[in-house]
Structure 1
Amino acid sequence: MGDVLLKALSFVAIIAVGYVLKRIGFFKAEDAKLLSKIVIYLTLPAALIGGFETFSFSLSLLVSIVVGFVASVILLAVGFLLSRGREGTVRALYGLNLPGYNIGTFVMPFVQSFLEPAGIVVISMFDMGQALWSLGGSYAVVFGSIAGERRVRLRDIVSKLFHSAPFLTYFVMFVLSLCRVRLPAQVFSVAKIFGSGNAFLAMLMIGVMFDLRLERSEIRDVVRILGARYLLNAVFAAAVWALLPVPALVKQVLTVGLFASIPTVTTAYCEKCGCKSSVSGVLGSLSILISLALVLALLLSWS
């Protein structure tokens, strides 16, 4: 219990350090982009490769993909339902911020540091299921619904997925594992060295990105979006524990994944749909706070 609490406080401290360093001018807001590139293209793929060292295929991995996919579809549908009759930019705000999970730079460091190594593969499969939506699918549906004549094609979405370094990494590793192609032990050793810095850099990046600025007129939509998002994901998590015949580790990892914060890429998609960047930015920042509290509480309860 003490070790888990110490790690949890360390994560909070790293986020706080990143935020404070930005406030005093050591970091600039745009520095988060550099940190993001290092995490997404170097440390996170390395951590994913290291997680496959003890990989063995099981039905629970397919279940993880299905959970990520289905949860995202339901949240997208609820987003349209809650914003029906509103103007296009508001529908986009709901449709883009309800679905999607920030796995790579938020959940992965927690799974990597607090749960068993096999958990990395489980959360990667969950991410594979939901990534179709968070990395382009939701944007395609939302943009098509508010623009009508312009639609994003399926092949454009697939192309975007396979230009995502984390997605491509665990897709390749998953295929190699299914084909029983084993990488040399030295590859896993080097990957673990690179991947060991992932948790620190990801948490530091979150601190640098953190920001809270909101007008009173926008509070209602923010409360509705976050309330619906976390309430529904709590229902999904309860269903995972009650209905799925999978090991406890898989249930723990899926629960942590379902309580992930809103993906950072969502803000960019919101801007493309004409949403106010300040509102989507606040949604992302608040979701980090909420998800951080929930995930740490879960991890401490399981220790």
Structure 2
Amino acid sequence: MLFQAGSLLLVIISVYLLKRIHIFSDKSYKVVQGLVFNLTLPCAIIMSFATNKHPMNLLWLVVFGLFACLIPLFVVYFGSRGDEPRYRAYQMLNASGLNIGAFCLPVVQTFMGPSAGLPVIMLDIGNAIIATAASLTITRSLLHLGSPTKNLPLSLKIKNIAHDFYSSISFDCYMLMLVIMFAGWSVPHWIVTLITPFANANAFAAMAMIGLMMEIPDSHKDRSELGKVIAWRFLFSIIIALSAWFLLPLDERVREIMVLAAFAPVTIFSTKFTDSLTGNAKLAGFSLTVTAVIGLTFMTILHAVLPVV
């Protein structure tokens, strides 16, 4: 197991070092990001649904994921009063939400096998409802941050928010798999065969993307704000993990998966939204990298401990 976790961390470090010697540029992460969100992650989602049974009681995880992402957003809003609005936005966006598809999914499947992917994906359906668009809208509204759409009619605002959801291929895949689940259909075998190479590449591509985004901020204020986000996330991770272990009406294996997921890092969407609201892409990318390393460490330890609890 240590070698499995080490191999994922090695990908992050190796790709970062390649960037440092200029094999990759500072913008190379955008290419890999496009591959992950539009190709490898959607294929991994479909693969998990197609190759595993999906009992209806897993719908509890959708509700759990929704509240696990939404509640921290408001807690940080009230807890960060007194700070500058742009740093409050950074804290709200980066202390809430779980990086499930691009991080937790490949890590958990590496640790526990392909069958562990379905509970992770069900959790991410609820998490993604907030993380893919709603968190930006809520943060911008609560902090009264300027927006080029603030003078638009309500119907156009709703249309723009809806576009954030349906323009995400990963989110579309989640919704499609839910429809298939409720309808009792199955994904054709030939589709599974075609997407298998892409699904298998998701773990490597996701870790490589994190390595490419890594860049150490040089501002003391940025490092201080990063410390706040790490503290917020650790608090929420503990609460989410304990809630999953003791409250979810599911078997021990699924609850262990949820405990591991509670320590997932900052979401890719959070880094994107932080950049758009504050212009601080370096801090956003480094936040993802640091929380990914911390998350991988805790997930490895918890996976070793939980089965013997």
TM-score (structure 2 length as normaliser): 0.89
Match of 2:179 among 155, 163, 175: 175
Is 1:66 aligned with 2:63? yes
User: In the alignment, what sits opposite 2:82?
Assistant: 85
Post-superposition offset of 1:69: 0.8
Residues 169-226 of structure 1 deviation map (CA, whole Å, 9 limit, x = unaligned): 1221221122122222222222223211111121122112112224223333322221
Letter matched to residue 255 of structure 1 = V
Structure 1 residue 25: deviation in Å?
1.2
Conservation of the 8 A alpha-carbon contact between 2:85 and 2:143: yes
Cα gap change, 1:155 to 1:5, in 2 (>3 Å): same
- Structure 2 counterpart of 1:251, one-letter code: R
Greater shift, 156-165 or 38-47, is seen at 156-165
Alignment of 1:85-234 (within 5 A): 85-147=82-144, 150=150, 153-234=157-238
> How far apart, in 2, do the equivalents of 1:259 and 1:17 lie?
23
Going from structure 1 to structure 2, the CA distance change for 1:282 and 1:43 (only over 3 Å counts) comes to closer
The alpha carbon displacement at 1:140 in A equals: 0.3
1:129 is paired with a residue whose SS is: helix
Structure 1 residues 164, 281: closer, same or farther in 2, change over 3 A? same
What is the root-mean-square deviation in Å for CA atoms of aligned residues? Answer: 2.1
The CA distance in 2 between the partners of 1:82 and 1:117, in whole Å, is: 39
2:44·2:198 contact (CA, 8 Å) conserved in 1?
yes
Q: Distance in 2 between matches of 1:62 and 1:70?
A: 13
Looking at structure 1, the residues matched to 113 and 22 of structure 2 have their Cα atoms a distance apart, in angstroms, of 38
Match of 1:245 in 2: 249
Asked if the contact 1:135–1:157 (Cα under 8 Å) also holds between the matched residues in 2, the reply is no
Instruction: Indicate how the Cα distance of structure 1 residues 185 and 277 shifts in structure 2: closer, same or farther if over 3 A, else same.
Output: closer
Q: TM-score, normalised by structure 1?
A: 0.91
How far apart, in 1, do the equivalents of 2:283 and 2:113 lie? Answer: 37
Moved more, 109-118 or 142-151: 142-151
Please name the residue that 2:50 is paired with.
53
Cα offset, 1:55, TM superposition: 3.7
> How many residues align structurally?
300
Cα displacement (A) at 1:271:
2.8
2:35 pairs with 1:38: yes
Q: Measure, in 2, the Cα distance between the counterparts of 1:139 and 1:148.
A: 11
Find the residue that maps to 1:74 and give its secondary structure: helix
Q: Cα distance, 1:302 vs. partner?
A: 4.9
Match for residue 269 of structure 1? 273
Aligned-partner Cα distance in 1 for 2:212–2:225: 25
Pair 281,62 (structure 1): closer, same or farther in 2 beyond 3 Å: same
1:299 to 282, 289, 303: 303
Query: Closer, same or farther in 2 for the Cα pair 1:297/1:201, shift >3 Å?
Result: same
Question: Shift in Å at residue 154 of structure 1?
Answer: 4.4
Instruction: Quote how far apart the aligned CAs of 1:53 are.
Output: 2.2
CA contact (8 A) 1:90 1:275 kept: no
Contact 1:79/1:94, CA 8 A, preserved across alignment: yes
User: For residue 300 of structure 1, what is the amino acid of its counterpart?
Assistant: A
Distance across 2 between alignment mates of 1:243 and 1:154: 35
Q: Where does structure 1 lack aligned partners over 5 or more consecutive residues?
A: none
| AA aligned opposite 2:49 | F
Deviation, 1:280, is: 2.8
What letter is aligned with 1:196? Answer: N
- Output the CA distance in 1 between the equivalents of 2:216 and 2:304: 27
Counterpart among 24, 28, 46 of residue 27 in structure 1: 24
Instruction: Please say if residues 162 and 168 of structure 1, whose CA atoms lie closer than 8 Å, have aligned partners that are also in contact.
Output: yes
User: Using a 3 Å threshold, how does the CA distance of structure 1 residues 130 and 34 change in structure 2: closer, same or farther?
Assistant: same
Q: Whole-Å Cα distance in 1 between the matches of residues 281 and 198 of structure 2? A: 34
> Identity of aligned pairs, percent?
28
Q: In the TM superposition, what is the alpha-carbon distance from 1:126 to its structure 2 partner?
A: 1.0
- Secondary structure of the 1:53 match is helix
The code of the aligned residue for 1:138 comes to S
In the alignment, the residues of structure 1 paired with residue 198 and residue 40 of structure 2 have an alpha-carbon distance, to the nearest angstrom, of: 6
Checking the alignment, whether the CA contact within 8 Å between 1:11 and 1:203 is kept in structure 2 is yes
